[in-house]
Amino acid sequence: MKYNQRKPSNITIEQAFRHILLRELKSIRKWRKVAIKGHDPEGIHQIRISLRRIRTALLIFKPVINTKFSQVLAIKLKKYAAVLDDARDLDVYILTHFTDEPDSTIKSSAMTQRSQAYQRVRKSLKSKRFNKQLAAAKIWLKKGHWQKKIIHHKKLNISLKEFAVSTLDALINIIIIKGQQPDQLDTLALHKLRIDCKKLRYATEFFIPLYDNKLTLTFIEELKQLQDSLGDIHDAFIQKKLHLRLLQKDEKIHLTSASQQIMLQIDHVEEVKKLHLSEQLAAFCNTEYPWRV
């Protein structure tokens, strides 16, 4: 990510925040039409990523933009993300288990629920409320309204690089502490650890221009692999819930070999990922941090 072609050393914390959010708002506008059409799952996927990145930026830059508007924005974006989550979960479920499968009762039921979920997505993304919120956020950033209410905080007196080091250290320490005994973490705790990994990844990507690109990209790739493993474990949990929801719609599905095979496949993925998680976490926590080199 480039900060408007300027030298990173000359960029302030406030300027970096503004650039990051404007970039994600632009991405949402780009993928909004794709998501509304519903033909390409990438549309919803990319909007969800941008919403998460904005919420992460609002969190880590809180000392700079701790205003009422930013707090309300974070809450509203979380609600919009929840609407997208169900559609994305069904996309993953269908793509995982029915890519090469012929039409079946369970696939038909999943596709029906997916269609309903996409209708809710279209309604949300086309709503005046959603688009008005995005427009208000853009105006808030471009006109500098958020800067008028900057809290006088000691972090504002440091450089962007110093701010980045402080932020990234805090985020990775959370992962190190939680990851010491992953076998003792339940499903909810593993999900929270996955969210912590996402926050660290997005924050690292926000500050890429400040560090050695090669080392930073290597770090992000290793973090992404850990995040993917935690994501697969979480997906297994979600897919079980989706599968059981489909069974409740039609009890006959439960008796089919296809239904039983799906549950076995989900359980297998979860077991394999959990088996290697301790080793993966240990390896990640011992990697070089680009902001500390």
Which residues of the chain are in CATH 1.40.20.10 domains? 11-154, 158-293
Pick 204 or 143 by higher pLDDT: 204
pLDDT computed for residue 182 by the predictor: 84
Pick 10 or 236 by higher pLDDT: 236
Scored b (16 or more CB within 10 A) or e, 87-123 reads: bbbbbbbbeebbeeeeeeebbebbeebbeebbeebee
Share of the chain above pLDDT 90, in %: 57
The pair of three-digit structure tokens given for residue 280, joined into one six-digit string: 């993966």
Give the lowest-confidence range in 69-73, 222-226, 243-247, 276-280.
243-247
pLDDT computed for residue 151 by the predictor: 46
CA 6 to chain centre: 28
pLDDT computed for residue 171 by the predictor: 96
**CB neighbours of residue 268 within 10 Å:** 11
pLDDT computed for residue 75 by the predictor: 93
CATH classification for the domain delimited by 158-293, as one of 3.40.50.800, 3.40.50.2300, 2.30.30.90, 1.40.20.10: 1.40.20.10
Give yes or no for residue 7 having a pLDDT over 80.
no
pLDDT computed for residue 152 by the predictor: 46
258-276 pLDDT, tens digit each: 778 888 899 999 999 999 9
* Stated pTM of the model: 0.88
What is the rounded average pLDDT of the residues 61-75? Answer: 83
> What is the chain's mean pLDDT, rounded?
87
CATH classification for the domain delimited by 11-154, as one of 1.40.20.10, 3.30.200.20, 1.10.10.10, 3.40.50.1970: 1.40.20.10
82-120 pLDDT, tens digit each: 999 999 999 999 988 887 666 677 888 889 999 999 999
Helices (H) and strands (E) in the chain, counts: 11, 0
Q: Name the phi and psi angles at 276, rounded to 5.
A: -100, 5
pLDDT computed for residue 60 by the predictor: 92
